Amino acid sequence: MDTQALTLLFGLASAFVWGAGDFSGGLATRRGNVYSVVLISQIAGGVFLALLALVFREAIPPTGDMLFGALAGVAGVFGLLALYSGLAYGRMGIVAPLTAVISATMPILYSLITEGVPPILQIAGFGLALIAVWLLSGASGDAVIRRAELGYAFIAGTGFALFFILIDQANEAAIYWPLTAARVASVTCLAVYIAVRRTWQRPKRDQLPLIVLAGLLDALGNAFFALSARFGRLDLAAILSSLYPAATVLLARIILHERLNSAQWLGVLTALLALILITI
């Protein structure tokens, strides 16, 4: 299998697993404190990544790679906190898709500078994929974006975009150890934030399996993204991984019997067309 195919395979796998992780985390947060859920899931994911590194006997990478991984974790957790703040104080249908679009756009611009311009059909596919992300998230076009919503989405999207870029810098020699370093850093930052804000609430025992599952899926999605970026261009890996809302809404349709609105169905079709253009 050539590197282009591997990039596509791992990028789409990342989108599916991340979407499933968001679905699991969303169910867990319905019955518990969001920060407690995120902290426990991040710890579970970190342990899982460290175990993967040991199972595959991955050599510990240079200190610089581990540092990039840790910085990625810090950027990612700040993005996560900004996203949840935006979802709490703004309109979810605006903040969530805008965050996803920003987090995908920045790596594309970074790749244009560092790796050159991709083929024209791929550029068209990227554009359609960004539109698909917005539609899949259920965004409505009848509302004006407020300044606070734009601010939260920009900080969250920038945090996630920096995570993409920094992990791409850290995955030359190893995959799992830099991601483990990212989790250690993110758990530390989040634990400090929870201690300062005093937002900890002990989750119920029956919530723990779902919280742990969300953490494992999120960690696995990170690994798939790192593999995708390692085998191909960062912009391609980022745009494919950013299609994760498709998995979330489809799982909600299958398991919770939630109906997709017309914009979301259009988003599914747009995403399929984007994938065709990207893979030509």
Q: Find the helix packing angle between 176-197 and 34-55, rounded to 10°.
A: 160
Closest CA to 216 of 10, 13, 20: 20
Whether 132 and 274 have beta carbons less than 8 Å apart is answered as yes
How many helices (DSSP H) and strands (DSSP E) are in the chain? 11, 0
* Amino acid identity, position 35: Y
pLDDT at 197: 84
Closest CA to 221 of 273, 182, 278: 182
Write phi, then psi, for 256 (nearest 5 degrees).
-95, -5
Q: Is the pTM of this model over 0.85?
A: yes
The pLDDT profile of the chain, 280 residues, written as one tens digit per residue, is 688 889 999 999 999 998 888 788 777 777 777 788 889 999 999 999 999 999 999 999 999 999 999 999 999 988 888 887 776 677 666 777 788 888 888 999 999 899 898 889 888 988 988 888 878 766 555 556 677 878 888 998 899 999 999 999 998 889 999 999 999 999 999 999 888 988 788 888 888 898 899 899 999 999 999 999 999 999 999 989 988 877 877 887 788 777 767 877 888 888 888 888 887 6
Whether 30 and 196 have beta carbons less than 8 Å apart is answered as no
